[in-house]
Amino acid sequence: MQPPLGISNRPAAVFHFQRCYGASSSILNSFAGGKGSVRIKVFYHDKCFDGACSAALFTRFYRERIREHAQFEYHGLVHRAGALFNEADFTGDENAIVDFKYSSSPRITWWFDHHQSAFLTPEDASHFEQEQSNTKFYDPDFRSCTRFIAVTAEQRFGFDPRPAAEMIEWAEIIDGALYDGPQAAVEVTAPATQLTMLIESNQDPAFIPGLISKLAYQPLQQIVDEPAIAGRLPALMERHRRSIEIMRERATCQDGTIFFDVTDHDLEGYNKFVPYYLHPHCTYSVGLSKSSFRTKVSVGSNPWATASYMENLAKICERYGGGGHARVGAISFPPDRFEEARQAAQEIVAELRASYRAHERE
């Protein structure tokens, strides 16, 4: 039998910022009374499978353990140069951020993230550390934010994540790059990898919110088989195959580090494992790509590399105003500051190649 709001007494070993959770009944109190009129706005990491799954699982958890009758609205957030949040968008009765950076806005009532670069400023980090709400959670040791939400909601709020197990498992595989090899990551045959391709290359603002409403409730194969979704796949597969050929021409590997510049092509949302599929023995990859709103420097590492030493890529990206995880990060520059982006990419390539040479010699 679960307690009403599942306030568990289990040790909070996984939470780096442990607090007293005994006050969680205030959540129930603050939501007591009223039905149907509460609007929950969920801000999620846009164009990201884990971001969409996080929003979906948060929704299911909220409906089952916090408030059954609530209206959900979804708003994607992307890393860009300049302000990431627009305070005026936080219009829900509750506003949740999942799989994305922390906001100290008092209008944000829920937060779940697992990115190493979760705080824009030291002030944001200390704001979070002093946070007393018991509805904001951070743990960079989780591979996916979806699983982080599953575990936290189960331990803290008595949520049962098992009906969404397939989605949670795939969020782990995709965000944690747990494929068997680059071939498996690039072939795009499993429904979750097809959904990832759809999500990462999406330009239709209504598409991901529509998907989020299904993700935590239906088998992934059933979602992919819907005509409105299945119909989008052939053109995307063709684009994916073309992107592999462009990358094959552009990507060069030297001293364990791949570099490619595809800013003259529309490749926003390319499969980030293609560089390692083409150069399986390389450790790092640095790519330059362009879209309407940013020039992006992507800094990644080969999940199947056997190198004994790896640079922390989030730390490198943070030096240039970007961030991410230890094994994969990125920096976004405004579209008109392409030269700066190129300069940063070249410096990072040089740094990673030097590091690789230094550690290979040992």
Q: What are phi and psi of 210, to 5 degrees?
A: -65, -40
Residue 52 in the binding site for Mn ion (CB under 5 A): no
Strands 284-290 and 328-333: unpaired
What are the backbone angles phi and psi of residue 44, rounded to the nearest 5°?
A: -130, 160
Cβ-based nearer residue to Mn ion, 57 or 282: 57
Q: Closest approach of Cβ 50 to Mn ion, in Å?
A: 3
The tokens of 112 are what? 């779940």
172 lies in the binding site for Mn ion (CB under 5 A): no
Question: What residue number has its CB nearest to Mn ion?
Answer: 50
Figure out which of the listed residues 99, 139, 172, 261 binds Mn ion, where binding follows CB under 5 A.
Answer: 99
- Rounded to 5 degrees, what angle do the CA atoms 330, 336, 341 make? 35
Strands 323-324 and 284-290: unpaired
Site size with Mn ion, rule: CB under 5 A: 4
- The C-alpha R_g of the chain, in whole angstroms, comes to 21
* Residues 221-250 interacting with Mn ion (rule: CB under 5 A): none
Contact between 50 and Mn ion per CB under 5 A? yes
Q: Is 175 in the site for Mn ion (CB under 5 A)?
A: yes
Among the residue ranges 155-163, 170-178, 339-347, 352-360, the one whose residues contact Mn ion (CB under 5 A): 170-178
At position 343, the amino acid (one-letter code) is Q
Can you tell me which of 12, 56, 97, 145 binds Mn ion, judged by CB under 5 A?
145
Are 149 and 157 in contact by the 8 Å Cβ rule? The answer is no
What is the residue whose two structure tokens read 């607090």? 19
Smallest gap, in angstroms, from Cβ of residue 145 to Mn ion? Answer: 4
Q: For residues 43 and 96, give the distance between their C-alpha atoms in angstroms, rounded to a whole number.
A: 6
Rule CB under 5 A: say whether 94 interacts with Mn ion.
no
CB of residue 148 vs Mn ion: minimum separation in angstroms?
Answer: 9
Which residue bears the tokens 């018991």? 134
Residue found by looking up tokens 């570099």 in the block: 259
Q: Compose the 100-139 pattern: x for residues touching Mn ion by CB under 5 A, - for all others.
A: ----------------------------------------
- Our finding on whether 330 is near Mn ion (CB under 5 A) is no
Q: Which residues bind Mn ion (CB under 5 A)?
A: 50, 99, 145, 175
